[in-house]
Amino acid sequence: MEREGEEAFGLFEEAAKAKKLVAIGETGLDYHYQHSDRKVQQKFLVRYLHLAAELSLPVIFHCREAFSDLFAIVDAEYPRKAPAVLHCFTGNRQEAEGVLARGWYLSISGIVTFKKSEELRLVARDVPLEQLLIETDAPFLAPQSQRGRINEPAFLGETAACLALSRNIPVEEIARATRENSKRLFCKDLDKF
């Protein structure tokens, strides 16, 4: 896996330096599937963090069953409060608090609509609107009414509606906040979005 990591890193580095990327990632740690050695994952995470810091690009983090290591590495290797998003968050309240305390955005996918995701809905309900994002994680994780189908952007409305219901606010408020957050994170140099 290390050889593939080297090849991929070179491609991302070249694209980032050519200003073809608005963020670095998805990068991070996944200890659930164990597709690669933890030390190798950590090594490449550090390299991507350094690349993002060098180019002033936000980072899109993936984290599964590795929050303590992710937080420790990022705290040591990435500027404090540098822009980032924890994508497809499915963690607990303590992990969400760690994300938010670092000033990152927390992105919620269609998983929040699943019948067994009550704890995630409670966590997502309390994320400050100015740090909330929603996503498809396409082609995976379609919301409840679309389970079994390939996920697509058209299904974001169900995720937004679920979050609005849990907060007792209009869905338009979720849409406005997440749109503005996306612009702030990914399009800071663009005049229009």
For the chain, give the longest Cα–Cα distance: 49
Question: How far apart are alpha carbons 110 and 88 in whole angstroms?
Answer: 9
What pLDDT is attached to residue 34?
Answer: 78
Question: How far apart are alpha carbons 27 and 40 in whole angstroms?
Answer: 12
pTM, two decimal places: 0.93
Average pLDDT over residues 61-79: 97
The region of weakest confidence among 30-39, 49-58, 83-92, 154-163 is: 30-39
Domains assigned to the chain: 1-82 (no CATH), 83-193 (3.20.20.140)
Average pLDDT over residues 33-62: 95
Q: Is the pLDDT reported for residue 1 higher than 80? A: no
Exposure of 129 by Cβ count < 10 A (0-12 exposed, 13-18 middle, 19+ buried)? middle
* ∠ Cα 186 190 193 (to 5°): 80
| Nearest Cα residue to 82 out of 189, 185, 165 | 185
Higher pLDDT, 189 or 10: 10
Q: For residue 32, how many C-alpha atoms fall within 13 Å in the half-sphere facing its CB?
A: 9
Q: Is the pLDDT reported for residue 41 higher than 60? A: yes
Question: How far apart are alpha carbons 81 and 146 in whole angstroms?
Answer: 36
Q: For residue 144, how many C-alpha atoms fall within 13 Å in the half-sphere facing its CB?
A: 12
Q: Is the pLDDT reported for residue 99 higher than 60? A: yes
Cβ atoms of residues 149 and 113 within 8 Å: no
* ∠ Cα 126 187 192 (to 5°): 115
Q: What's the pLDDT band for 190 if we cut at 50, 70, 90?
A: low
Q: Is the pLDDT reported for residue 193 higher than 50? A: no
Question: How far apart are alpha carbons 68 and 134 in whole angstroms?
Answer: 24
Q: What's the pLDDT band for 173 if we cut at 50, 70, 90?
A: very high
Question: How far apart are alpha carbons 99 and 101 in whole angstroms?
Answer: 6
* ∠ Cα 36 37 42 (to 5°): 100
**From the CA atom positions of the chain, what is the Rg in Å?**
17
